[in-house]
Amino acid sequence: MKGLIGVDIGGSGIKAGVVDARRGVLIGERVRVDTPQPASPEAVVAATAELVAGLGRDEGPIGIGVPGAIVGGRVMTAANIDPGWIGVSAAERFAEAIGRPCAVLNDADAGGLAEIRFGAGRGVEGVVLFLSLGTGIGAALFVDGVLVPNTEFGHIEIRGKDAELRASAGARERRGLSFADWAPLLDEYLNRIDALVWPDLIILGGGISRKADKFLPLLEVRPPVVAAALRNEAGIVGAALRAREVLTPPRRAPARGTSTASSPARSTRAGSAR
């Protein structure tokens, strides 16, 4: 299989691309459309199906990251999309519209998977926290490389408000804050999270990770804080990885006694050795 399609649905944009799931890189360019407003299930599913069709791959499973907690393929929360998503069986809805099997997971969990496998979290032991700073704040928590799904840490309360309303990249843009003015808000949030889960590493993803040099030096947090290596493509890559894991059948080794092209050569060498 040359590539799998990954889709990353966010509060402001839907991004997709063909992914080499063995290397964790995109094959060709990613494509993007604005997230429909309101972001109802019907509108988002239709936009996603059209985006996928434009990639020109007509076979293979598809992985889709959705901004909400996902349990058994069903959406349980919807902070930055229409509340009509709550209770929807997203995996079935997308598969119906696209005509191919779809694996669905939380969008931040998808980004975190990519960073753990191929990015800034690769080989890191202990507790790793991936935070996607976009319209809101998505979170993915890993313990020794194993995902703890659906950790909605962007919604912890700070000073009476959802943390993402104060510290997300979207909040910075809405309030017209400079990086110097925004960094203390992000710093306060990261220190609160640190006191809850004590991570060994924090990885900051989302589009704003491209400008990490403008705010990372301003942060004063106990654990190391780094920018996502895959930048804003992490969600696409991670979604494709999930599709490969849960929807692609594992390759089976030939049964004993089965004739293959290489079997006679092995038998001959074995006989010579004897």
Check if the beta carbon of residue 109 is closer than 8 Å to that of residue 238: yes
| pLDDT, position 58 | 78
Check if the beta carbon of residue 215 is closer than 8 Å to that of residue 182: yes
DSSP summary character for residue 89: B
Q: Do domains 4-110+233-247 and 123-228 have the same CATH topology?
A: yes
DSSP summary character for residue 85: G
Considering the segment(s) 123-228 as one domain, its CATH architecture is: 2-Layer Sandwich (3.30)
In the CATH hierarchy, which top-level class contains the domain 4-110+233-247? alpha beta
Q: Which amino acid is at 121?
A: G
Neighbouring-strand partners of residue 31: 16
| pLDDT, position 152 | 92
Q: What is the pLDDT along the chain (274 residues), one digit of tens a residue?
A: 468 999 999 999 999 999 999 999 999 999 999 999 999 999 999 999 999 999 988 788 999 999 999 999 999 999 889 999 999 999 999 999 999 999 999 999 999 999 999 999 999 999 999 999 999 999 999 999 999 999 999 999 999 999 999 999 999 999 999 999 999 999 999 999 999 999 999 999 999 999 999 999 999 999 999 999 999 999 999 999 999 999 976 655 555 554 434 333 333 333 333 3
For the stretch 154-192, what's the b/e string if a residue is b when 16 or more beta carbons lie within 10 angstroms of its beta carbon? Answer: beeebeeebbbbbbbbbbbeeeeeebeebbebbbbbbee
| pLDDT, position 57 | 81
Question: Would you call 35 helix, strand, or coil by DSSP?
Answer: coil
Domain residue ranges of the chain, discontinuous segments joined by + = 4-110+233-247, 123-228
| pLDDT, position 258 | 45
- DSSP letters spanning 240-251: HHHHHHHHSPPP
pTM, two decimals, is: 0.89
Question: Would you call 13 helix, strand, or coil by DSSP?
Answer: strand
| pLDDT, position 97 | 97
DSSP summary character for residue 2: -
Distance of CA 203 to the CA centre of its chain: 13
Q: Which residue, among 104, 64, 103, 69, has the nearest Cα to 87 in the 3D structure?
A: 69
Q: β-strand 74-75 against 31-34: which pairing, if any?
A: unpaired
Sign of the alpha-carbon torsion through 113, 51, 5, 3 = negative
- DSSP letters spanning 208-240: GGGGGGGTGGG---SS-EEE-TTGGGHHHHHHH
Q: What's the CA dihedral at 265, 271, 273, 274 to 10 degrees? A: 170
